[in-house]
Structure 1
Amino acid sequence: MTIQQTFATLGRSTVPLIAAAIVVDLGIEAALVGVYLAIGSVAAFLTTIGCGGFILRYGAVRMTQVGMLALGLGLAITTAGWLPLFAAGAFIGGLGQAVSTPSSSHLLGRLAPRNLAPLVFSIKQCGVPVGLMLAGVVAPALVVEAGWRVALLVIALSCVLIVLALQPLRAGFDVDRNPAQPLSPADIRANVVGVLKDPALRIMCVAMFSFVGLQSLFTGFFVLYLVRGLGYDLERAGQVFAIAIVVAVPARIGWGLLASRFVAPATLLAFLGIGMAAAAVLTASISPDWPTWAAAAIATALSVTGVSWHGVLLAEVARLSPVGRIGATTGAVLAFGDAGALVLPLLFSAALSLTGGYATGFLIGAALALGVGLFGLWRQVNRRR
């Protein structure tokens, strides 16, 4: 599950991370990156909100395979360089990539020891920073050596290879699939209503919206910000991004261990919200004349907070989920994250078009994360009284 999460993240992150090269080659506006991200987020929203029944009916591994195949196809068709196919590729790839987390949560929620769930989920979610790190290093290098079209085709092929690698595992892990599971819109509605009726899960939905939204700004615009806004070349910008993402791997494991042993997950998530807000404000403040190490340090701070919380939150969602409904509940909560990944990039693109600068977009993401963090702390204090 960690490996498939790695390649799912690699596939979804590649286009934004090499967008600077695509923008120059096709002569299009940089703000269209936000549109690409938004289209993918709409598709991901549809997947996460409705994938619960499919996971129960066909199995988590089978749905992961279907998702990775769709992601590879979405990347491959964008190589034509035609904007409508970029939109189609974003949609198809978003549909596929989004099933990765609900499927793995379904498996880990069933198999992981309950007291170690935050740590186990955090280890699995290390696939996200590893995938981002690979994308930050491999994709720009492929662009330099062979062009952005070849880079996308290579990543697409890697997604197909994951589909094949998962096939021998399907029989052993999809033993709980139920071929008679109905696929009904009413079931989707019931999932969402059930999540929103539970106060604790409702807070997780708001946190997911804000945190995923801010993360999408970092992963979708940071390299573009360094190249177009601060004058970095693409390879240097990719290296700064990769350095920042590397630390997210031990950070995720560290937060998971902390939440498993010493700190309540809800409290830790509140502090992480405040921390990522502060890091986003610093990101907005980077100046072109600052040394590279300063930009890398600030990006690292945002990575440690804004790209490292997932395992803690997903384990908490699994703990709060009804028995046998972890995949469906996780999908419903993740749908709010996809909504954040839709709304915030659009706001970022609007701010970029209106102001010509990148700072305002990062500040918008910081404000939402700060609100979640402060409310979470207030709620924890009131619960102890």
Structure 2
Amino acid sequence: MAVQIPRLLLVILGAMFLQQTCAALGRNLPSIIAPAIITDLGLDPALAGVYVGLAAAASLFFQMGCGGFILRWGALRMSQLALVMLAIGLAAAAVGPLFFFALSAIIGGGGAAVSTPASSHLLGRYSPPKQAPLVFSIKQTAVPAGLLLSGLVGPWLTAWLGWRATLEIAALFCLVFAVALQPLRATFDNDRMPGRAFKLSDLWLSGQVVAGSPALRNLAFACFAFNGLQTVFIGFFVIYLVHMGHGLATAGAVFSLAMVVAVPARIFWGWLGSGHVAPRVLMGALSLGMAASTGLLGLSGTGWPLALFATVAIGISLTAMSWHGVLLSEAARLAPKGMSGAATGGVLSSGQLGALVLPLTYALVLSLTGQHGWGFAACGLPALVVGLALLRRPALPD
């Protein structure tokens, strides 16, 4: 029997898919075209890790504090705000000096951070509980779609127009879609609480929701490892391939190939987690896959053919780039009533902590050893711990 999908769910799923595509493009494009920026400005490649770390620090703050603002102004309005912030961040990076790159990381990282809790709040309202992992996974395929755009179009535009114009075009794209969402606001922000007074404690609302639930705390620990490793892969894989002697366009194509694989993988894991396999078991298996794939990169070297790098990248994409729908739907399911945005924001805040700590760990390993592969292997260790813990005992309710 065919599943009847509510019309409003289809509308908001499509809108949030495009919103998340813009968010992924806006946050990650500077990292994808970083080799061109580094060469043009004569920068140390390790500064890419500082950029990613600053973005993660900003994301941590914004995701911790966005729950109260979602309740007051509505998740769709916050989605628009997120897109405007991403546009400002990209425009700041196009200016060029290091101060503006720092500004870009903070503003753009904050915008990307708000986008996911806002979209999760909306989908949590309209998704049937049993289909939630699949619905969230479909929405989250927008992230590899945005990364695919970054990996294919970013290097091409950079070669044609330069890296500054590439960032400016992406900024305009985010701004236009923020305006395009406006007609949907009356329908989808009808649960907002405009009379809700702002309190300083609202900045920590998401953290309080997660801290009060052992199951959400366990999800937060998993998100730390998953999101941190994902951030390392996005931030450094293209740089690593260029370091190994491959051109930027070739490295971007390999990265994009991996992102293509993540699209069906996210949908498949979401379907598998929708009543076929317990989300705890599924996330445990994905954790071990992440650790194994990054461990293989730790063994890589100049003798590796490009096809082998591509194979490992696909392995990372199948795992570290494909867990989102399962984890986010669990966070929404376990959240107190009306608190889906706050719960997912709190869980993702832990992920942003991972996105802060692991890229800086990678940069430290690279600075000490000069080995990119060792950096990937070191950043895969938290995923190994999470995988063993999830498969050893029922840390999450099935």
What TM-score, normalized by structure 1, do the two folds share? 0.97
**C-alpha contact 1:53 1:182 (8 A) present in aligned 2:** no
Question: For residue 49 of structure 1, what is the amino acid of its counterpart?
Answer: M
Query: Residues 340-360 of structure 1: CA distance to partner in whole angstroms, max 9, x if unpaired?
Result: 101111111111111111122
- Secondary structure of the residue aligned to 1:22 is helix
Please tell me whether residue 21 in structure 1 is matched to residue 17 in structure 2: no
State the 1:336 CA deviation.
Answer: 0.5
Question: For residue 122 of structure 1, what is the amino acid of its counterpart?
Answer: S
How many Å separate the matches in 2 of 1:345 and 1:186? 30
Q: Give the corresponding residue for 1:120.
A: 135
Q: For 1:247-286, what aligned pairs fall within 5 Å after superposition?
A: 247-286=261-300
How many Å separate the matches in 2 of 1:183 and 1:208? 28
Q: How many residues align?
A: 383
Q: For 1:179-258, what aligned pairs fall within 5 Å after superposition?
A: 179-228=194-243, 230-258=244-272
State the 1:337 CA deviation.
Answer: 0.6
How many Å separate the matches in 1 of 2:154 and 2:395? 45
What TM-score, normalized by structure 2, do the two folds share? 0.94
Q: Give the corresponding residue for 1:374.
A: 388
Q: Give the corresponding residue for 2:175.
A: 160
Q: For 1:24-63, what aligned pairs fall within 5 Å after superposition?
A: 24-63=39-78
Please tell me whether residue 10 in structure 1 is matched to residue 25 in structure 2: yes
Distance 1:56-1:200 versus aligned 2 partners, 3 A rule: same
How many Å separate the matches in 2 of 1:182 and 1:374? 44
How many Å separate the matches in 1 of 2:387 and 2:373? 21
How many Å separate the matches in 2 of 1:80 and 1:110? 40
Question: For residue 357 of structure 1, what is the amino acid of its counterpart?
Answer: Q
How many Å separate the matches in 1 of 2:222 and 2:397? 18
How many Å separate the matches in 2 of 1:55 and 1:93? 18
Query: Residues 271-323 of structure 1: CA distance to partner in whole angstroms, max 9, x if unpaired?
Result: 10011110111122223232222111110010000000000000000110000
Q: Give the corresponding residue for 2:314.
A: 300
State the 1:237 CA deviation.
Answer: 0.1
Distance 1:381-1:64 versus aligned 2 partners, 3 A rule: closer
How many Å separate the matches in 1 of 2:106 and 2:38? 19
Query: Residues 177-212 of structure 1: CA distance to partner in whole angstroms, max 9, x if unpaired?
Result: 110123223234354233123221111010011100
**C-alpha contact 2:54 2:356 (8 A) present in aligned 1:** yes
How many Å separate the matches in 1 of 2:19 and 2:299? 35
- Secondary structure of the residue aligned to 1:99 is helix
Aligned CA RMSD, in angstroms, stands at 1.4
Q: Which runs of 5+ in 2 are unaligned?
A: 1-15
Question: For residue 265 of structure 1, what is the amino acid of its counterpart?
Answer: P
Please tell me whether residue 333 in structure 1 is matched to residue 362 in structure 2: no
Q: For 1:85-164, what aligned pairs fall within 5 Å after superposition?
A: 85-164=100-179
Question: For residue 100 of structure 1, what is the amino acid of its counterpart?
Answer: S
How many Å separate the matches in 1 of 2:288 and 2:205? 32
**C-alpha contact 2:232 2:359 (8 A) present in aligned 1:** yes
Q: Give the corresponding residue for 2:7.
A: none
Sequence identity of aligned pairs in percent? 50
**C-alpha contact 2:63 2:206 (8 A) present in aligned 1:** no
Distance 1:344-1:381 versus aligned 2 partners, 3 A rule: closer
Distance 1:382-1:15 versus aligned 2 partners, 3 A rule: closer
Distance 1:72-1:380 versus aligned 2 partners, 3 A rule: same
- Secondary structure of the residue aligned to 1:247 is helix
State the 1:383 CA deviation.
Answer: 8.6
**C-alpha contact 2:65 2:205 (8 A) present in aligned 1:** no
Query: Residues 146-185 of structure 1: CA distance to partner in whole angstroms, max 9, x if unpaired?
Result: 1111111111111111111111111111111110123223
- Secondary structure of the residue aligned to 2:21 is helix
